Structure 1
Amino acid sequence: MNEKVLATLEYNKIIEKLAHHASSEIGRRFAEDLKPSVRAEEVQLWLDETEEAAAVIRIKGNVPLDGIYDVRSHAKRAQIGGTLSGVELVRIASTIFASRQIRQFIEDVRSEGQVTLRILPEKTAVIPVLTDLEHKIKRTVDENGRVLDSASDELRHIRHGMRSAESRIRSKLESLTRGQNAQKMLSDAIVTIRNDRYVIPVKQEYRSHYGGIVHDQSSSGQTLFVEPASVVNVNNELRELTVKEQYEVEKILRELTMETAEHAPALFTMTKMLSEIDFIFTKGKFARSMNATKPIINEEGYIHYIQARHPLLPADEAVPSDIVIGKDYTAIVITGPNTGGKTVTLKTTGLSVLMAQSGLFIPAEDGSETAIFQSVFADIGDEQSIEQNLSTFSSHMVNISSILKEVTHESLVLFDELGSGTDPQEGSALAISILDDVIGRGARIIATTHYPELKAYGYNRNNVINASVEFDVETLSPTYRLLIGIPGRSNAFEISKRIGLNSAIIERARNMISADSHEVDNMIAALDASRRQAEKDAQDARDYLRDTEKLHRELQKEVIAYHEQKEKLEEKARAGAAEIIEKAKSEAEEVMRDLRALRLAGGANVKEHELIDARKRLEGAIPEQKEKKPAIEPAKRLWKPGDEVKVISFGQKGSIIEKAADDEWIVQMGIIKMKVAESDMQFIKSEKKKEPKPIATIRGKGHHVSPELDLRGERYEDALNRVEKYLDDALLAGYHQVSIIHGKGTGALMKGVRGYLTKHRMVKNIRFGEAGEGGLGVTVAELK
C-alpha cells in the first residue's frame, strides 16, 4: 500500500491508538509494524483473530498478559557463551510464567464453551513448556535480580560471614561515635562507607587520635573519612568475603545461563507466539475502545458501511453515515459548500478500508461490508509546494497524474475538491474528464467538489450517483450527514436572508441566476423536503412499534405477576385451612379424652356408642379442605416438542419446546418461556414433520431398553433420577454394558454421573468412551 496514502489518510494515528493497547513492548512493536494486506485470505484470518480476542475480552473483561518481555536477545547471548545477569534471568522466568498463564487462561475459556475459539488455542498450543527452568531461576534469583542466599551452600556460608563481619565493624564504629569525645572530634556521629570500607567522619585536627587509614575528605578539607585501626582487619576480612561472594555469584549465574542456552530455541518460539497473542488481544481491546464491529469481506468489490463514523473523531462528536458504493454505481460525486463535512466522508471511507485490510474492526454497525482493494489512492488537502514553485492546482495535478498511471479496476480512489484552484469552467471540465477516465477503468471513486456543473454529472452517467452533506438552514450549520442520491445546494440565498441581508438585494441576485439553475435548486429542495418527511414518518413508525412492544412486555409481566400472586394466595389459603383442620382435630380428641375420663371416674353415665356419636358430630364440624383437582383427559397423551397447546391457567396458546421434568414441559408463549405441568396443558395440534427412523434397541427379558442414555440438556437432579431408573431397566433387560451420554460442558454433570455410577452397587466398572464412542462426553458402565 502506498506510504503517501497512509500518511494522507492519517493511518499512522490509527496505529498509535492501536499500539497504546498493547500489554508488552514486543506486542507494541508488532502493532507499530502493521500494514494493510491485499490478500483476502490473510485479511480474513486477521479479522477472525480480532473477533476471537474481542469475544474473550467481552466475556472475561481482561486477559493475563502482564510480565512478557522480549527475551530473544538474552537467549541469543546465552547461546554464544555470554553470562546473563540476574535481571535478565528474572525477565526470562517472568516470560515463561506469563506463557503458562495465558495458555491456561485460553484453555479455561475454551472449555467453558461460552465462545468458540480456534486460532488462539492453536497459538497457545505451540508455546513450549519450560516450567522447570522458570522454577530454577526463581529459586536462584529474587524478583530484583539478586542471587538468593539459598542458591548454593557456599554462597550461604559466605554471606553469613559477611553479615557477621559487618555487624562487628558497625558495633565498633558506633561505639566510637558514642564515645566521650565523639562530639568534639567527629564532624557527625555517623558510620558511612568510602571505597567499600566502613569509615567515620573525623575533624582534620583529630586525625591522629583514631589512627588507621584516610579514604576520603570533604570538599573543604576540614573533614576526613577515616577507617580506624581497630576495624582495619575486620574490614579486610569483609573485603575478602565480598570478593568470594562475587566469584560465587558469577559461578551460579554462569551455570544458570548454560542451562538457559539449552532452551534458547524454545525461548525464541515462546517470545514469537506471545508477541502474536498480545497483538491479537491488542486488536480486540482497540475494537472495544471504539465500539467497532467486524466487517464482512466480499469479493464483488463493493462497500456498504452502516452508520460509519470517522475513526479518529470522538464517538460523541462523530456523525454516523451510511456509505454505499460498488453495486448499482461505482462513483459518488459529493457536491455542496465547503465546511460541510465532505472531506470527513472521504477519510472515513478510506481509513475504514485500510483498517479492515489490516485486520482491525471498523467503527460501524454490524453487517457492514467491504471489499479488498489492491490499491487505495487519495488526493486530499492543500499540497501547495513553495520549494517546487507549484501552486495548489499544480500540486493537485501532479498527484492526480501519478494516481492515474496506477489506477486499476481493483482500486479505491478518493478525490477532494477535484478541479479546484483554477478557472471554474476549466476546472469543472477537467474534473469531469478525470472522473470519466477513472470510472472507465472500473475503479471505485468518491470525489468531492463545489462546482455546480457536476450536479448534472450524476444524472448523465450510468455508474455515477450524486450525494451531498446535509445542511440545516434553520441553524445555519452542517449536520455532517451524508445524503446519497441528493446533490448539494449552496443555500446562499436562504442563509443571507436569515442573517438579515436586504430582501431586495437577494431578489435581484435570484433574477441573475438562470431558469435552469432555479429549476435544479427547486428540484433538490423538493427532494430534500420529501426525504425529511419520509425520515420523520419512519421514525414515528419506529417509535410507535417500540412503544407497542414495551406495552406488550409490560402486559405479559402483569399477567405472569397476577398468576404468581394467585398461586401464592391459594397456597396461603390452603395452609390456613390445614391449620384450622389440625386445630379442630386436636380439640375433638381432647373432648373425647375428657368424656372417657368422666365415664371411668363414674362422674357421668356416658356409653361408648354415645362417645362415637359425639366424635362423628365433632368431625362433621371440621371445615373440609377443597383440593384443586387436575384436569382429567380421556387418556394419557404422549406430548412431544412442537405440539401446539393452550396453557389453561393463563388462557394463552403456546408451543412445546422441550421436556423439563417427568410431568412438566417448557412452553413458548410469545416471547416468554415457562415451565408448565402436563395437567395445565390442553392439546391443540401437533407439528407436522417426518417420522424419524426408530432407534434399534436390544430386547431382553421382556424389556425394550436402549443401550444408551442421553442426558445432554438435563438438569443435574433430573439427570441423576433418570440414571437411577435407567440402570434398573438395563439390569432387568439383562445388559452387561451401557453408555451414559452426559457431554463435556462445564463438567458438573459429568462428575455427578460418574460419582453416582462409582457408588452404585450393580456397577462393576466405568470408563470414558473411546474415540468412536463419544470420548470424554460419554461414560461406559460395565454392569454386574
Structure 2
Amino acid sequence: MSINKTSKIDILIKQLDLSEHIEQFKSFFARESSLYIEGDQELHFKYIKALDNLEFKAPPKVANFFNIKAHLKKRGVLNFEQIFEIVKVVRYFNYFKNQEFEGIIGKWMEKIEVHEKFVEVEKYFKVDGLFNENLDEMLFGLTKRIKEHKTNMNESMKRLMSSSKLSGYLVDTQIHLINNEEALLVRGGFNHVLKGAVVGRSSGGFFYVSPDIILKSKEQIRFIEQEKQAIFYTYAKEFSSVLSELLPFINFIDKEFTKFDNYQARVLFAKSKNLQLIKSSKNDSKIILKDFIHPALAKPKPLSVDFSKNILMITGVNAGGKTMLLKSILASAFMAKYIIPMALNEHKSHIGSFKTILSIIDDPQNVKNDISTFAGRMQEFSKIFEHKSALVGIDEIELGTDSDEAAALFKVILDDLIKRGQKVVVTTHHKRLAALMADRDDVELMAALYDEELRAPTYEFMQGIIGKSYAFETALRYGISNAIVSEAKNVYGDNSERLNLLIERGSELERELKQKHKKVDEKLKYLDAKELDLKAQIEKLRAELEKEKKELRFTYEIAIDEAKKAAKAGDTKAIHRAMSKANQNLPKNKTQPNLNSHVYKVGDFIKYRNNKGSIISIKDKKEALIEVGGMRLRVKTKDLKPTKNIYIKPQTTVKVNVEKKAGLKCDLHGMRAEEAEEALDKFLSDALLNGWDEVIIYHGIGTGKLSYAVKNFLKAHPRVKKFEDAPQHMGGFGAKVVSL
C-alpha cells in the first residue's frame, strides 16, 4: 500500500473519530500489518467466521520476515534471535495443527507441513528462545566451568566481607552489580586494606570497589565466553545454511502467518470487546444499520437507520447528533470494508460495498494558503467528481456561503453525483436545500429530534421529515441571555418562521402524497398479478378437467368393448375372464374421506351396496356384523347407509345345484371335478356381479378328490382373496368359506 494511500486512510480514520478503536484493534496483531487483507474478501470472511467458532490461544509477537529472508537469499548468517522468529511461527502452526480442528481451518492446517531439516534446527531452541546448550557436550562443559568460576568469585567476596580488617570500611554486607562488575560499597580510606578498582560512587559519597582478587576469575570467564560465542557462530552458520535451502518453505509460512494473523486479530479483538464481525456486501450499496454504536461515544444511544436510497439528508436541531450520525454511517462502511469488528446487530444490519469512502467534514479554511471556507469546500467537491462508486459524507454542506445560493448550487451538484453512481450523506441546518431535494424518490430525509419540554436534543432521529434547527433554543441552553434571544426572535420575524413552517409542511405533504401514490401503485400491481394468477389457475383446472374427461371416456369405451366381446363369446368362463379384464381397465376410484357421520347401533336397518339388511353387532364403531339376504357379513360402517324400516325382499342368487336352491352357498355334492369347476366358476361370477364379499361352498369329505379340485380352482381364481375351512356348525372340513 502506497504512503499516499495510507495517509488518506489515516486522515479518514481521524475524521471519523476511529483512531482509538483502530489502535486497540492493531494491538491484537502478532506483527505490524496493513488493515486491508489482500485477495478475495469473501473467502477471507469465511475463514474469519470459521475461526470465530473456535477456542485457541493468541500467537506470540513476531518480527517481520523481510530482513530475515533478504539475508537468507544472499546466503548471509542469521543470529539466534532472527532464527527464533521463524521457530516461533512454525511452533505456533504446530500447536494449531495439534488442536485437530475440522472444516476449512483443519484443511488449511493440513497444508502446512514442516520440513525435517527445520525440525533439526528447531530442537536447539528452548521455549524462551535461548540456545539449548545441553545438546552440545563442549558448550555444556564450558558453561559448567563458568559456573565454577562464579562460585569461586562469590566465595572470595564473602571472605573479604568477613575480614576483620575490612569490616570497619564496609557500608553494607551486599555484593553490588555496578556497570556489570561485582563490587563492595566501602568508605574512604579503604585502599589501606583493599586492593581493587573504583567502579562508581553512591549518593552518600561512598565508593563501589571491584576487588582485584576476583579479576583473575573474571578474565577466565571472559575467555570461556569467547569460546562459547565461537561455537554459537558455527551453529548460526550451519542453521543459516539449512534455512537458505528452506527459503521456499519460509516464504510459504510467512505468507500463511500473515493471513492467519489478520484473521485471529479480528476474531480475538471482537471477542474481547463483545463486537460483531460483518463485511461489506458486494452486491449493492444499501446501508441498513440496526443498534449501531460508534466506538468513540462513551454513553451512546444505539443507532438504527435505513440508507437504501442514493442521498440521505439529515436536518434538525443544533448539537443533536447530526454529525455523529454522518460519521457513524461512514464509519460502519469503512469498518465493513476492512472487516474490522464493530458494535451492531449483525443479523438485521446490511452494509453495501464502496470502492472509496470520502468525507468533507472539517472546515477547510487556511490562513497560510489564503483560502476561504467556501473556496476550500469547492476544492474538496471538485475531487469527489474524480471517483465512481464512492460513499461521500458532507457535514454542513452550505458552510461558508449564502444558504439560498448554496441550495441551488448543491442541488445541481448532488444531482450530478448521483448520475456518477455516488452515494451521499449530507447534514444541513437550512431547509431550502432539503425542500428542493425532497421531491426525489432517491432522497431520504432524516431529522434530529428535540424535546420541547426539556429544551434539549434527544440524540434520536426520525426518517421522512425535515427537522427544525432550534437555533434560539440552543442559544438559551448554552448560556445566551433571554433578552438577546427574544430580540433575535423579533428581528427574525413571524413571517420567516411561517415560511419555514410552510416549507417543512409542504415537503412533508409532498412526500406523504408520493408515498400514498406508491402504495396504491404497488396494491394495483399486486391485484393485477393476483388476477393473472387466478386466470392461469382456472385455465389449468379446465385443462385438467378436460384431460380427466377424455381419459374416463377412453377407459369407459375399452370396458364396454371388453364386455361386448365377453357377451358374444357365450361361454361362462370366457364371460368371467372378459369381465375381469374390463374391471382392470376401469379407472380406479380415489379414496374419499368418510363423509358418513351417522352413528349406527344394533338393530338399525341399513343398505349395503344394492342389498338391504340389519345390524347384528358393532365393533369399535368402525366394523359391523350385518345380515342381508340370509347371509351374515362383517363390513366397515363407512360402507353402510341408513334406511327406513321396510320389508327386505330376499335377493335371488345363483342356483347351481340340482334342486335350484337360492342363497349365498354352492352345493357341489355328487359332482365330478370338471362339473364342479364349471358350476363353481358360474357361482363365483354371479356372486361378484351381485356384490357379495363372502360365500360358502359345500363339497363334502368323501375321497378328497372333489375337495382337492375345489382348493386348486379357488387358488387360481383372480378374484378370490382367501378361503378357509368352514366352522363345525356350518360344515367343517366339508365346506369352504370364500372371501371375494
TM-score class, shorter: 0.5 to 0.7
1:265 paired residue among 230, 236, 248 = 248
1:29 paired residue among 24, 27, 32 = 32
Code of the aligned partner of 1:370? I
Secondary structure at the aligned position of 1:297 is classed as coil
Q: Report which structure shows greater RCO (CA 8 Å, sep ≥6).
A: 1
Code of the aligned partner of 1:44? E
Corresponding residue for 2:48?
50
User: Does residue 299 of structure 1 match 2:283?
Assistant: yes
Secondary structure at the aligned position of 2:281 is classed as strand
TM (norm. structure 1) is 0.54
Could you report, residue by residue, the CA deviation over 1:5-33 in whole angstroms, capped at 9, with x for unpaired residues? Answer: 762463786475345345766x4522xx2
Code of the aligned partner of 1:416? D
Deviates more, 1:333-342 or 1:386-395: 333-342
User: Does residue 461 of structure 1 match 2:465?
Assistant: no
Relative to 1, partners in 2 of residues 1:99 and 1:452: Cα closer, same or farther, differing over 3 Å?
Answer: same
Q: Is the 8 A contact 1:382 1:392 kept in 2?
A: yes
Task: Please give the alpha-carbon distance, in whole angstroms, between the structure 1 residues aligned to 2:362 and 2:215.
Answer: 78
Secondary structure at the aligned position of 1:460 is classed as coil
2:139 paired residue among 155, 158, 165 = 155
User: Does residue 354 of structure 1 match 2:354?
Assistant: no
Corresponding residue for 2:260?
277
Relative to 1, partners in 2 of residues 1:443 and 1:200: Cα closer, same or farther, differing over 3 Å?
Answer: closer
Code of the aligned partner of 1:323? D
Corresponding residue for 2:364?
383
Structure whose alpha-carbon radius of gyration is higher: 2
Code of the aligned partner of 1:244? E
Relative to 1, partners in 2 of residues 1:202 and 1:476: Cα closer, same or farther, differing over 3 Å?
Answer: closer
Code of the aligned partner of 1:275? T
Task: Please give the alpha-carbon distance, in whole angstroms, between the structure 2 residues aligned to 1:203 and 1:526.
Answer: 97
Corresponding residue for 1:10?
14
Could you report, residue by residue, the CA deviation over 1:445-502 in whole angstroms, capped at 9, with x for unpaired residues? Answer: 2222222222422343343343222222222222233322111124568889999889
Q: Is the 8 A contact 1:79 1:261 kept in 2?
A: yes
Relative to 1, partners in 2 of residues 1:185 and 1:13: Cα closer, same or farther, differing over 3 Å?
Answer: same
Task: Please give the alpha-carbon distance, in whole angstroms, between the structure 2 residues aligned to 1:517 and 1:194.
Answer: 80
Secondary structure at the aligned position of 1:343 is classed as helix
Relative to 1, partners in 2 of residues 1:455 and 1:173: Cα closer, same or farther, differing over 3 Å?
Answer: closer
Q: Is the 8 A contact 2:317 2:449 kept in 1?
A: no
Q: Is the 8 A contact 1:85 1:145 kept in 2?
A: no
User: Does residue 402 of structure 1 match 2:383?
Assistant: yes
Corresponding residue for 1:764?
none
**Offset, 1:511:** 4.0
Task: Please give the alpha-carbon distance, in whole angstroms, between the structure 1 residues aligned to 2:172 and 2:159.
Answer: 14
Corresponding residue for 1:368?
349
Code of the aligned partner of 2:230? Y
**Offset, 1:395:** 1.4
Aligned-residue Cα RMSD (Å) equals: 4.5
Q: Is the 8 A contact 2:77 2:240 kept in 1?
A: yes
Secondary structure at the aligned position of 2:462 is classed as strand
* Aligned 1:208-223 pairs, distance under 5 A: 215=197
2:325 paired residue among 330, 345, 363 = 345
User: Does residue 313 of structure 1 match 2:292?
Assistant: no
Relative to 1, partners in 2 of residues 1:374 and 1:195: Cα closer, same or farther, differing over 3 Å?
Answer: closer
Relative to 1, partners in 2 of residues 1:257 and 1:338: Cα closer, same or farther, differing over 3 Å?
Answer: same
* Aligned 1:109-124 pairs, distance under 5 A: 110=102, 117-118=103-104, 120-121=105-106, 123-124=108-109
Corresponding residue for 2:596?
none
Corresponding residue for 2:306?
323
**Offset, 1:36:** 8.9
Could you report, residue by residue, the CA deviation over 1:153-200 in whole angstroms, capped at 9, with x for unpaired residues? Answer: 222233333434444455456445434534368787777889999888
TM (norm. structure 2) is 0.57
Task: Please give the alpha-carbon distance, in whole angstroms, between the structure 1 residues aligned to 2:51 and 2:270.
Answer: 10
Task: Please give the alpha-carbon distance, in whole angstroms, between the structure 2 residues aligned to 1:174 and 1:91.
Answer: 42
Could you report, residue by residue, the CA deviation over 1:263-305 in whole angstroms, capped at 9, with x for unpaired residues? Answer: 3432332233122212112122344426335256152443333
User: Does residue 422 of structure 1 match 2:423?
Assistant: no
User: Does residue 94 of structure 1 match 2:88?
Assistant: yes
Code of the aligned partner of 2:14? E
Q: Is the 8 A contact 1:43 1:356 kept in 2?
A: no
1:20 paired residue among 19, 24, 32 = 24
Code of the aligned partner of 2:43? L
User: Does residue 65 of structure 1 match 2:50?
Assistant: no
Relative to 1, partners in 2 of residues 1:16 and 1:214: Cα closer, same or farther, differing over 3 Å?
Answer: same
Could you report, residue by residue, the CA deviation over 1:640-693 in whole angstroms, capped at 9, with x for unpaired residues? Answer: xxxxxxxxxxxxxxxxxxxxxxxxxxxxxxxxxxxxxxxxxxxxxxxxxxxxxx
Gaps of 5+ in 1: 111-116, 530-784
Relative to 1, partners in 2 of residues 1:262 and 1:435: Cα closer, same or farther, differing over 3 Å?
Answer: closer
* Aligned 1:600-639 pairs, distance under 5 A: none
Task: Please give the alpha-carbon distance, in whole angstroms, between the structure 2 residues aligned to 1:206 and 1:342.
Answer: 78
What percent of counterpart residues are identical? Answer: 19
Code of the aligned partner of 1:313? L
Task: Please give the alpha-carbon distance, in whole angstroms, between the structure 2 residues aligned to 1:519 and 1:198.
Answer: 90
Secondary structure at the aligned position of 1:99 is classed as helix
Q: Is the 8 A contact 1:194 1:216 kept in 2?
A: no
**Offset, 1:386:** 0.9
Corresponding residue for 1:77?
71
Code of the aligned partner of 1:29? E
Secondary structure at the aligned position of 2:369 is classed as coil
Code of the aligned partner of 1:160? K
Corresponding residue for 1:334?
314
Could you report, residue by residue, the CA deviation over 1:582-607 in whole angstroms, capped at 9, with x for unpaired residues? Answer: xxxxxxxxxxxxxxxxxxxxxxxxxx
**Offset, 1:385:** 1.1
2:231 paired residue among 218, 239, 248 = 248
Task: Please give the alpha-carbon distance, in whole angstroms, between the structure 1 residues aligned to 2:157 and 2:341.
Answer: 69
Task: Please give the alpha-carbon distance, in whole angstroms, between the structure 1 residues aligned to 2:487 and 2:170.
Answer: 100
Q: Is the 8 A contact 2:198 2:207 kept in 1?
A: no
**Offset, 1:331:** 2.1
Secondary structure at the aligned position of 1:34 is classed as coil
User: Does residue 451 of structure 1 match 2:430?
Assistant: yes
